Structure 1
Amino acid sequence: MFRSRPFRIRENAERGREFLEKAMEFVADQPCNPLGRVSGALSSFRVDVMDVGSRYEVFAELPGFRKDQITVSYDADCCLTIKAERPDPEMEVRYLCRERRVGSFERSFEVDDIVEKDVTVAYENGVLHIVLPKIREEDNRTVFDID
Structure 2
Amino acid sequence: MRRNPFDNIEEMLDRVSRQVEEGMTAGGLQVPGSVPVDVADTDEEYIVTADLPGYETDDIDLTLSNGTLRLEADRIDADDYAEGRYIRRERTETSASRRIRLPEPVDEEGVAAGFENGVLTVRLPKVSGDDESRQIDIE
TM band (smaller chain) = 0.5 to 0.7
Which of 94, 101, 110 lines up with 1:103 in the alignment?
A: 94
Which of 114, 118, 139 lines up with 2:110 in the alignment?
A: 118
Unaligned runs of 5+ in 2: 1-29, 129-139
Q: TM-score by structure 2 length?
A: 0.59
Alignment size in residue pairs: 95
C-alpha separation between the residues in 2 aligned to 1:60 and 1:89?
25
C-alpha separation between the residues in 2 aligned to 1:126 and 1:63?
4
Other structure's SS at 2:58 match: helix
Shift of residue 91, structure 1, vs aligned partner: 2.9
Which of 56, 61, 64 lines up with 1:74 in the alignment?
A: 64
One-letter code aligned to 2:35? F
Shift of residue 90, structure 1, vs aligned partner: 1.9
Contact residue 56 and residue 134 of structure 1 kept, 8 A: yes
Contact residue 41 and residue 101 of structure 1 kept, 8 A: no
Question: Which position in structure 2 is the counterpart of 1:42?
Answer: 32
CA RMSD of aligned residues (A): 2.5
Q: 1:58 to 1:97 in 2, by over 3 A?
A: same
Unaligned runs of 5+ in 1: 1-39, 137-147
* Structure 1 residues 70-107: Cα deviation after superposition (integer angstroms, max 9, x where no partner): 111012x3221011110142238655362x46332110
Contact residue 45 and residue 62 of structure 1 kept, 8 A: yes
Displaced runs of 4+ in structure 1, greater than 4 A?
92-95
Q: 1:43 to 1:83 in 2, by over 3 A?
A: closer
